[in-house]
Amino acid sequence: MKFINQKVLPAITNMRDYEKFLQTSFPYCIIMDFHIAQLRPIASLAEKHNKNLIIHVDLIHGLNSDEYAAEYLCQELKLEGLISTRTSVIHIAKKKKKIAIQRIFLIDHQSLDKSYRLLEKSQPDYIEVLPGLIPRMITEVREKTNIPIITGGLITTPKDIDRALQAGAKGVTTSYRELWKLNNEL
């Protein structure tokens, strides 16, 4: 499975940050909080700049986060992968040979147990664990599932990134532009 040899994954939420991302050496980014009408121009710019998009299906305005949305995105846009909390989206991404990242939230043990059951069914390529500030849980999820982990949520300092990576995360998602520069330093 191809993937991100990036320790820091820019999570892009607006055009200003997207334009800054296009000028970086990062090959991958995560697109979220955009309107569906913005996706085609974003994908065209990515292709023009040799960038790879991972779309967070659940966080695209005007799009249902279901298997039909996943089909649409995979057929209509040049993208590398999809992120979702929904197993049906993960199944479509895998079927379409895209990177499939299942997002889970660590709220309590009950939600963690439910996530383990979902992950067993969906078998994503990667798991995005949120929040990323709990290194012990990153290690536990990685060991229990044997699926590579990326993490994000509430990551605001270089030390947060270091802790997540030391706990076994392959990468850290962040919308904090000041942390993007750390990719080459890690």
Q: What angle do CA 180, 183, 185 make, to 5 degrees?
A: 120
Q: At residue 143, does pLDDT exceed 70?
A: yes
Q: What are the pLDDT digits (tens) for 77-91?
A: 999 999 999 999 999
Q: What are the pLDDT digits (tens) for 89-109?
A: 999 999 999 999 999 999 999
Residue 181's contacts (CB-CB under 8 Å, 6 or more residues apart) are none
Band (50; pLDDT cuts 50, 70, 90): very high
β-bridge pairing 28-31 and 52-56: parallel
Residue 147's contacts (CB-CB under 8 Å, 6 or more residues apart) are 119, 123, 124, 125, 126, 127
Band (119; pLDDT cuts 50, 70, 90): very high
Query: What pTM, to 2 d.p., does this model score?
Result: 0.95
Q: What's the pLDDT score for residue 184?
A: 62
Percent helix, strand and coil across the chain, each to the nearest 5: 45, 20, 30
Q: Which domains does the chain have, with CATH numbers?
A: 8-185 (3.20.20.70)
